[in-house]
Amino acid sequence: MPPLARRNLFHDRVRLTVTLTGIVFAIVLIVVQIGLFLGFTSATSNVINHSNADLWIGAKGLAYLEQAAPFSERKLQQVRATPGVAAAEKYILIWGNWKRPDGRKESVVIVGVNPDLPMGGPWNLSAGSVLDLKSADAIIVDELYCQKLGVTHLGQVIEINGHRARIVGFTRGIRSFTTSPYVFASFKNAQTFANLPEDRAFYILVKATPGADMERLRSELAARLRDVDIYTTAEFSRMTQFYWMFTTGAGIAVLLAALLGLIVGIVIVAQTIYATTMDHLREFGTLKAMGASNGYIYRVIVQQAAISAVLGYALGMVASVFVVRGSQEGGAAILFPWELAVSMFFLTLLMCVGAAFVSINKVTRIDPAMVFKG
Amino acid sequence: MQPAIAVHNVTKTYSPGAAAVHALNGVNLAVQSGEVVFLMGPSGSGKTTLLSVMGCILQPTAGSVRIRGREVAGLPERELPAIRLAHIGFVFQGFNLFPTLSAGENVELALDLKGIRGRDARRRAMELLEQVGIREKFGVFPADLSGGQKQRVAIARALAGAPDILLADEPTAALDSHVGRRILELVRSLAHSQGVAVVIVTHDSRMLQFADRLVHIEDGRIVEPSVVATPALAATPHELAPLAVSGA
C-alpha cells in the first residue's frame, strides 16, 4: 500500500505534535501512577517479604502488619517444639517517637529482631552490619530518611521514646509506606525503646525445615497455640498490601489517576485523529468511489493510529525513565519493571487504535457521491 | 454488440412523499465500448445524478443498470465497491488527487486496490503516466503540477484498473480551453485505443468535437440523443499523435 497513512500523519506537523504530546502525557501519567501503586504496594509489605520467614504468628484478629497486638512470648517455646520448625524467633513491630537533635519529634516504626538469625532483620546495608545491633542502644535506619530524622552521621546518638539510641548502620531502599521510617534494633533494645514488658512479643517468625509441608505445619502449630493467627509470608504480605492499598483507599486513588491518564490520552488522540480524518474526508470519499472497501479505508486510519502509538510510546518511555529516575531520591518510590514497560506498549496501541474508531465510524458513513461536489 | 453500460427506465427520487425531488425520470441510455458520450444539460438537470447511478455510487429508485450485461441496480450497498473497482474509473472536476502522494503513488494506489503492488505496480504506473504523457512527473507531488498535469494523473489513475467504463464529471471545468482540449483529445484517444466506454458530463459547448455522441438531459429526462460527426471520428487510434507535455 502506498504510504498514505504515514504521509497524512506527517503532513500536518502541528497536529502530529499535539497527538504525540497527548500520548506522551497519558503514558507518563499511567506509568507514574501504576509505578506509585507498585511502589506503595511493595513498601507496605517489604519487611514481610524480606523477612526470610515461612510463617508469621500474631495475636488473633490480625489484618495487617502494623495492627499486631503483644502476646506472651512463652508461645515461642511451643513453636520451637513443633516438628517441622527449623527456627523460630520473636519479633517486635511498634510505633515510637523519635526525637531529632533540634528537639522536633518524628513518628517511627521500631522493629525488634534477633541479629544472630537471618530472619526479619534489615537488608541492603550501605554502612555497618546487622550484628552491630547486638551492642547497647544500637539502631539501623535507612539513609533515605536521614534528613527527616535529623541524622547526619554514623554513630550519632538520638532519643526514642525518651531512651538513648545510637546509629550503628544505614540501609538503602527500605521505604515505609506510612510517613514513619523503620528503625531496626535488637529484640531486647526494641523492648526498651518501646517500653514493653520483657515477656511480650508481637510476632513469632517461623522458618520451616527444608521440604516441610507448610499447610501441615500451620495446622500443627494452630493445634498447639491458642488465640493466634498463623499466615504464610505470601498470605500476610497480600493481606497487608490489600489493607493499605484498598481498605484505606490509597491504592484506588492512584489507580483512578492512572485511569484518568488513559482517558485523557484516548480523548486527545481521538480528537486529533478525527480532525485529520475530517481534513482528508474527500480523499476517503475518493477512495470509496475508486472501489476501496471499508476494510481498506479502516486500515489506513488504523495505520495512522498505530504509527502515532509507536512514536508516542518511544517518546513516552524516554520521558517516563527520566521521571522515574528523578523520583528515586523522593519519599515515594515509583517502580518501573520491564513488564510495565511492555504492557504500556500494548496499552498505548490499544488506546490509539481505540481512539481511531470514532474516525472509522465517520468514514463508514461517507457518501461517495460527495466526490462529485466541486 | 452488448453495450459496456446500459441504463433502462432509471428513476431516482429523493425524499419520497410531498417533498419528493425527481432527479431522474425514466432515463434510457446505452454506451458502447470505445464510444465517447457527452452528457449536457442545465444545472440541476440530473447529469451528476445519472453519472452517480451509472457509476454505482447511487442506487436508482427504479429501473435497470447493466454493466457488461450484468444487472447491478438493486445490489446490496456492500457489493457496489467491488463493481466500481472492477469496471469503472472516475475522473473528477477537482482532480481529487491525494496531495500527500506523488503522481506515481496516486496511480499506484489505484493499482494497490486491484492487488497490484511493489515493482509491478511501479512499472505499470510508469506505463500509465507515459500513456498520458507525463512519465517524468512520477515523483512530483500534486501541489507542484499544473491543472492539466493533475488531470492527466487523474486519468492515468482512473485507467489503472483497466476499467470498462470511464466516467468524468466536468473534467475540463478547472482548466483553460487549450489545456481542456488537450485533455479531451487524450481521453478520446485512450477510449478508442483501449475500448473504454466514456461518459463525460460537461457544460462546455466548445469541446463538442471530441464527442461521438451528445446526450441532452433536462429535468431528469433525456431530451435529445444525437451523434456528432466530427473529423476526429474519421481518424483511427494510431493516427492520433502522442501528446507532448507542455504545461498541460
User: Is residue B238 predicted with pLDDT exceeding 70?
Assistant: no
- Mean pLDDT lowest among A40-44, A179-183, B23-27, B152-156: A40-44
B 68-87 residues with CB < 8 A to A: 81-86
Domain positions in chain B: 33-48+76-239
B113 contacts in A (CB within 8 Å)? 287, 290-292, 296
* SS3 state at A161: coil
User: Is residue A319 predicted with pLDDT exceeding 90?
Assistant: yes
As a dihedral over the C-alpha atoms of residue B28, residue B33, residue B36, residue B40, rounded to 10 degrees, the angle is 20
User: Is residue A86 predicted with pLDDT exceeding 60?
Assistant: yes
| Integer Cα distance of A227 and A80 in angstroms | 17
β-strand pairing of B197-201 with B165-169: parallel
Please indicate whether, in this complex, the C-beta atoms of B86 and A296 are within 8 angstroms of each other: no
| CA atoms lying within 13 Å on the CB side of residue A219 | 5
A300 contacts in B (CB within 8 Å)? none
**How many angstroms separate the CA of residue B70 from the nearest CA in chain A?**
17
1.10.10.10, 2.130.10.10, 3.50.50.60, 3.40.50.300: which CATH number matches B33-48+76-239? 3.40.50.300
pLDDT for A40: 85
- Residue bearing cell 485512450: B190
Best residue in A276, A280, A283, A290 to probe B by mutation, most B CBs within 10 Å?
Answer: A290
b/e per residue A265-274 (b: at least 16 CB within 10 A): bbebbbbbbb
Contact A285, A366 (CB under 8 A): yes
B113 interface with A at CB cutoff 8 Å: yes
- Mean pLDDT lowest among A2-16, A213-227, B225-239: B225-239
Q: Which residues pair with B165 in a beta bridge?
A: B88, B197
Residue B230: band (very low, low, confident or very high) from pLDDT cuts 50, 70, 90: low
Contact B173, B184 (CB under 8 A): no
**How many angstroms separate the CA of residue B149 from the nearest CA in chain A?**
18
Residue A37: band (very low, low, confident or very high) from pLDDT cuts 50, 70, 90: confident
Q: What is the mean pLDDT of chain A?
A: 90
Please classify residue A287 by burial: count the beta carbons closer than 10 Å to its beta carbon, then call 0-12 exposed, 13-18 middle and 19+ buried: buried
User: Is residue A190 predicted with pLDDT exceeding 60?
Assistant: yes
Please indicate whether, in this complex, the C-beta atoms of A291 and B93 are within 8 angstroms of each other: no
**Is residue A77 within a helix (H) or strand (E), and if so which, with residue range?**
helix A75-80
User: Is residue B239 predicted with pLDDT exceeding 60?
Assistant: no
User: Is residue A230 predicted with pLDDT exceeding 50?
Assistant: yes
Which among A1, A11, A288 is the nearest to B81, CB-wise?
A288
Please indicate whether, in this complex, the C-beta atoms of B92 and A286 are within 8 angstroms of each other: yes
| Integer Cα distance of A277 and A305 in angstroms | 11
Please indicate whether, in this complex, the C-beta atoms of A371 and B112 are within 8 angstroms of each other: no
pLDDT for B226: 61
User: Is residue A194 predicted with pLDDT exceeding 80?
Assistant: yes
- Backbone angle region of A105, left / alpha / beta, with phi > 0 → left and psi within -120 to 50 → alpha: beta
Residue B228: band (very low, low, confident or very high) from pLDDT cuts 50, 70, 90: low
**Regarding predicted confidence, which is higher, A282 or A170?**
A170
Within 8 A by CB and 6+ apart from A259, the residues are none
**ipTM of predicted complex:** 0.86
pLDDT for A73: 77
Q: What is the pLDDT averaged over residues A347-359?
A: 87
Contact B200, B39 (CB under 8 A): yes
| Integer Cα distance of B164 and B69 in angstroms | 12
Q: What is the pLDDT averaged over residues B57-80?
A: 92
Contact A49, A296 (CB under 8 A): no
Percent of chain A scoring above 70 in pLDDT? 98
User: Is residue B121 predicted with pLDDT exceeding 50?
Assistant: yes
pLDDT for A355: 85
B35 interface with A at CB cutoff 8 Å: no
Each residue's pLDDT tens digit, A117-141: 889 999 999 999 999 999 999 999 9
A281 interface with B at CB cutoff 8 Å: no
Residue B224: band (very low, low, confident or very high) from pLDDT cuts 50, 70, 90: low
B111: nearest Cα among B79, B155, B144, B159 = B159
Residue A72: band (very low, low, confident or very high) from pLDDT cuts 50, 70, 90: confident
User: Is residue A352 predicted with pLDDT exceeding 50?
Assistant: yes
- CA-nearest residue to A296 within chain B is B113
DSSP class of A56: E
B93 interface with A at CB cutoff 8 Å: yes
Please indicate whether, in this complex, the C-beta atoms of B112 and A1 are within 8 angstroms of each other: yes
User: Is residue B178 predicted with pLDDT exceeding 80?
Assistant: yes
Please indicate whether, in this complex, the C-beta atoms of B113 and A290 are within 8 angstroms of each other: yes
- Mean pLDDT lowest among A290-304, B89-103, B174-188, B231-245: B231-245
β-strand pairing of A157-160 with A85-99: antiparallel
pLDDT for B232: 46
Residue B235: band (very low, low, confident or very high) from pLDDT cuts 50, 70, 90: very low
Task: Locate B197 and state its grid cell.
Answer: 466506454
Q: What is the mean pLDDT of chain B?
A: 87
